[in-house]
Amino acid sequence: MPPATNTSIQTIFPRSKGSLGLPAASSQRTCGVPTSAKEKCWRKVPSSPLTSRLPHPLTILTCLLTSPPPSPCWWASSSRPSPESWPVPTDQGDLKDAQRSIPIGTILAILTTSFVYLSSVILFGACIDGVVLRDKFGDSVQGNLVVGTLAWPTPWVIVIGSFFSTCGAGLQSLTGAPRLLQAIAKDNVIPFLRVFGHGKANGEPTWALLLTALIAELGILIASLDMVAPILTMFFLMCYLFVNLACALQTLLRTPNWRPRFSYYHWTLSFLGMTICLALMFISSWYYAIVAMVIAGMIYKYIEYHGAEKEWGDGIRGLSLSAARYALLRLEEGPPHTKNWRPQLLVLLKLDEDAHVKSPRLLTFASQLKAGKGLTIVGTVVSGNFLQSYGEALAAEQTLKHLMDKERVKGFCQCIVAQKPREGINHMIQSSGLGGMKPNTVVMGWPHAWRQSEDPQSWKTFINTVRVTTTAHLALLVPKNISLFPNNSEPYTEGYIDVWWIVHDGGMLMLLPFLLRQHKVWRKCGMRIFTVAQMEDNSIQMKKDLATFLYHLRIEAEVEVVEMHDSDISAYTYERTLMMEQRSQMLRQMRLSKSDREKEAQLVKDRNSMLRLTSIGSDDDEETDGERERPSGGSTEHHRRVQMTWTKEKTLQYRATHSGCSTPEGFRDMLSIRPDHSNVRRMHTAVKLNEVIVNKSHDARLVLLNMPGPPRNTEGDENYMEFLEVLTEGLERVLLVRGGGSEVITIYS
């Protein structure tokens, strides 16, 4: 660039009695022209289109923010290898002793570059008039460089030096940035950058270099330093902000593996640096700062969503651990309030011999309760010894995790190895969860085909689990006919969820339909609540009270009160009870094969019909057919035939057919059994209630029922199972609900 004409150092920057850089008298020449001419010049400068964009003088803060940061200089200086490691390729990451070289190199580089740049600022201010320095486009020196005017022996020294300095910084960035990008790509931290991890055989980052060159070329094409400078400023300030944030966070969390070697380090230094970086970002350009933070957040969520293949231990995870610990300690202070109650599920799944889940729809049902925003633990039991079955337990755990991912269930899985499934379930119910995050609701399946099962342990384990949950004051959910429940891709477009509220159990029957209807599968289903009243109850007032209660609960549902009439025990109930008790004793006393068991069970059924006709007496003979029928749809005719199966001709035919067969003595004794009166009353209640439920809810998508408690005497376990079968007979999808003994819903929000 040619020097300015008719100028000299003495005339441009006078040295007189006045203040440094200012003329002492009006006759002093500045820029080779008289002062009067200078005044005319400066009167014209503000009206120039080039300088009109700077109405106010530049401040030191503006210069700091708009000038390219000197970071590449000290960054490169602090990252160079020591002389002992020179045989190794001189990359930024190749340091012999990184713990020693990086702190020393960083501090020395910062001090050196800071001294150079600050001294330049001071010298410029001491030698050049402030008015000239504020001349952005150099109109006062005829468009030339002020530093070039001062250069010796020619202004080209500054031009050439600036060119080489810029090229050096650019080459330095082109050397380090591709290797940094390649390292990030090789670590698989950001999955879509994986292609840039490849390079030549000698490790040179070819693809990363091309991407870096493309980004640099875009900055050159912008052709405006004022537009590029804020972008560069945001990149560097974001880098320093997160470095300081990570250091401060690790110190505040007191992570055991965070052990800084620098003796004078304190977390307040990192916090101060982070605050300054954040403030400078918004002072420089608040919209660029917001865009940079949004981009950083999107990258973090992308990494979190896809999952990095290598875990480096991020600070957010440490913060989550500390927050979880703090929250768990707070939850230990006492039981949750009713309005804070939410279902914390423990889903018990059973695996087959091939380690496949027998009832995956059970987990689907649990996923449809996710509106409760509670904890979900999926557990199973592996039979065997822990030392020999540890591998099977790991395989079972992986199976559960895969199924949870498939059903999109957020939670944890737990696999326990025990000699007996019953013991494993007991241990799981007692030990699952942590602190205030223990499960309060157990979800388990109904033992399918328990009557035909040769091994009674399946349904005995079921009843034992019911007893354990009752003792632990946990709620219990038992979906019956779970294979008929819808999956998450089969939403219902109409229908009802019917709730039969027979016993108050703390509000579980009210809360569960509400949670289910938040899911897309049940969202379009209506809700109906049925309650049972006796003849002496005021049904109209009960309906009003229940509707008012639901209004205060903010639950929309249809209310209906069903009156159950007290009636005599029908012959069908008596026969069903007798069959149940005789079958129970028969299976306990005899070890029969499957075919023999079916044959003897049919004998019990036919014998019961004969006993009913002889033992009930004239009152039974006077019963109408309607009282003896089973009013449950298509099964009515079947039950009528059951009551009328025994005739005199059949008796003679049976004796002739089985004349050569011997009947065991124990079985002859069972034929003389009379049913227990309490069992007859329970069976009568179950039969009558089932008639009403089937009549009202035969077309419902789901029926929720109170689940009665198990008997105290274990000898009545099979009778308990039979009662539940009778109660739910003729219903397609049933959810048996047993409360945990505490209120789970309240009218107070």
Determine if the pTM surpasses 0.75: no
Give the integer Cα–Cα distance in Å for 673 and 662: 20
Please give the pLDDT value at position 625. Answer: 37
Spatial separation of the C-alpha atoms in residues 295 and 290, rounded to whole Å: 9
Burial class (CB in 10 A: 0-12, 13-18, 19+), 263: exposed
Q: SS3 of 26, please? A: coil
Q: Are 487 and 361 in contact (CB under 8 A)?
A: yes
Q: How far apart are CA 18 and CA 636, in angstroms?
A: 120
Instruction: Indicate the DSSP class of residue 189.
Output: S
Give tens-digit pLDDT for 466-499.
999 999 999 999 999 999 999 988 899 899 999 9
Mean pLDDT of 704-713: 86
How far, in Å, CA of 213 to CA of 72, rounded?
17
Confidence band, pLDDT 50/70/90 cuts, at residue 42 = very low
Q: How far apart are CA 238 and CA 277, in angstroms?
A: 7
The CATH fold assigned to 338-501+518-565 is: Rossmann fold (3.40.50)
Is pLDDT above 50 for 40? Answer: no
DSSP string, 362-395: HHHHHHTTGGG---EEEEEEEES-HHHHHHHHHH
DSSP state, residue 633: G
b (16+ CB within 10 A) / e for 437-450: bbbbbbbbbbbeeb
Are 61 and 276 within 8 A, CB to CB? no
Q: What is the pLDDT of residues 279-305, one digit of tens each?
A: 999 988 899 999 999 998 898 888 777
- What is the model's pLDDT at position 530? 92
**Residue 334, CA atoms < 13 Å, CB-side half-sphere:** 4
3-class DSSP state of 452 = coil
Give domain limits for the chain. 226-318, 338-501+518-565
How far is the C-alpha of 140 from the C-alpha of 543, rounded, in Å?
A: 93
Q: What is the pLDDT of residue 581?
A: 56
The 3-class secondary structure across 201-220, one letter per residue, is CCCCCHHHHHHHHHHHHHHH
The reply to whether omega before 3 is within 30° of 0 (cis) is no
Side-by-side strand order, sheet with 475-480: 412-418, 376-383, 345-348, 441-443, 475-480, 734-738, 702-706, 496-501, 526-533, 558-563
pLDDT of amino acid 394: 92
Q: 3-state SS of 123-159? A: HHHHHCCHHHHCCCCCHHHCCCCHHHHHCCCCCHHHH
Burial of 590 (0-12, 13-18, 19+ CB in 10 A): middle
Per-residue model confidence (pLDDT) at position 702: 94
Average pLDDT in the chain = 74
Q: What is the dihedral of CA 320, 326, 328, 330, to 10 degrees?
A: -150
Confidence of residue 73 (pLDDT cuts 50, 70, 90): low
Of 56-70, 200-214, 270-284, 730-744, minimum mean pLDDT range: 56-70
For 382, phi then psi, to 5°, come to -105, 125
For residue 244, give both structure tokens: 């300081």
One-character DSSP codes across 516-544: HTTSTTTTT-EEEEEEEE-TTS-HHHHHH
**Which tens digits make up the pLDDT trace of 491-541?**
998 999 999 988 777 788 888 999 999 999 999 999 999 988 877 778 888
Reading the block at residue 380, the tokens are 């199973």
3-state secondary structure of 634: helix
Which range, 83-97, 635-649, 730-744, is most confident? 730-744
Q: Smallest Cα–Cα separation from 613: which of 600, 603, 623? A: 623
The lowest-confidence range among 55-64, 164-173, 373-382, 553-562 is 55-64
Stated length of the chain: 749
Is the per-residue pLDDT at 598 higher than 90?
no
